[in-house]
Amino acid sequence: MVALLLVLAFAALAAGVALFIADARQRSPRRAWAREHGFTFAKVDDLLAGEWTRGAASRGATAREVVSGSAYGHDVHLADLGGVTVLAVPTGREADVVVDMRRNGFAPAQRDDDLLEVAGEGGFTVHATSAGPARRLIDERVRTALATLPKSVSAVWFEGAWVIGEFAPDAAAEDWDAALAPLALLADAARTLPPREAAPLQVVDVVGEGVVEKRSARPDDPVELPTRTTGGERGEVEERDLGDDDVTAIAGDAHNVTDLTRVRRVQGPSSIFDSEEK
């Protein structure tokens, strides 16, 4: 009986060692890839997987064998979620729409009832929670990214402030490298999706701090402005005495005085041009 127990214990130990060696062989490319790019490596990241609920993250698995770094102006995170390798890139802004792009022929482990089929693009079928924003998302950047993604990328989904690429089980380090630039391009295009919260209006003060307005300096005496008027004379001017005009006033007839209540109409020609006074 003791011998049998010893044999079983030895067999269990051998199986454990074999699994450890197989796991080390499987994980060693991940560490080597991190060292090659100057990225950091962590066995477990309890917070990273909590950012996502779709795709490979729908099972709620913890992110393991996490490689984190920066490429093409974006942070990147390579991790395993329940045996599925994903490459996640933050977009910098929370989106209110989920977009799921699946390579033709790929069957996801979990189907979401709130996703609608929107379009087909670059060998991918596009699903989204809202069709309009998803159609506007598909621009030249998205088309270029989908066309240049390695064949080992089975799906790409936009969720929250992230774009995540899901790899096939046979993906290698070359595939991770090839997926960095397309996913960074998709992260830039994700800014066209409607934000989860509207950005507050920022009012910029047009007058900078420390700027003192200059007051206008006014002289005590009025300023003599230039004028075109001159006091000179041109030619000989006849001097005339000031007095009455030579023309008799129209209303100066003392013989036709009225009480100003009515105007008398005089029948006859006008006397304004007569030389003699009547």
The confidence score (pLDDT) of residue 240 equals: 72
Q: Residue 21 and residue 27: Cα distance in Å, rounded?
A: 10
One-letter amino acid at 207 equals: V
Q: Residue 130 and residue 96: Cα distance in Å, rounded?
A: 9
Q: Indicate the SS3 state at residue 138.
A: coil
The confidence score (pLDDT) of residue 25 equals: 45
CA distances from 263 to 99, 105, 257, 270, 274 (A): 96, 110, 10, 15, 22
- Please report, for the chain, the start and end positions of each structural domain, with discontinuous segments joined by +: 23-192
The confidence score (pLDDT) of residue 21 equals: 47
Q: Indicate the SS3 state at residue 173.
A: helix
The confidence score (pLDDT) of residue 218 equals: 79
Per-residue model confidence as pLDDT tens for the chain (278 residues): 556 556 555 666 555 544 544 454 445 799 999 999 999 999 999 889 888 988 888 888 899 999 999 999 999 999 999 889 999 999 999 999 999 999 998 887 677 888 999 999 999 999 999 999 999 999 999 999 999 999 999 999 999 999 999 999 999 999 999 999 999 999 999 999 999 876 677 777 665 566 667 777 777 888 777 777 766 666 776 777 766 666 666 665 555 556 666 666 666 666 666 665 54
Q: Are 79 and 50 in contact (CB under 8 A)?
A: no
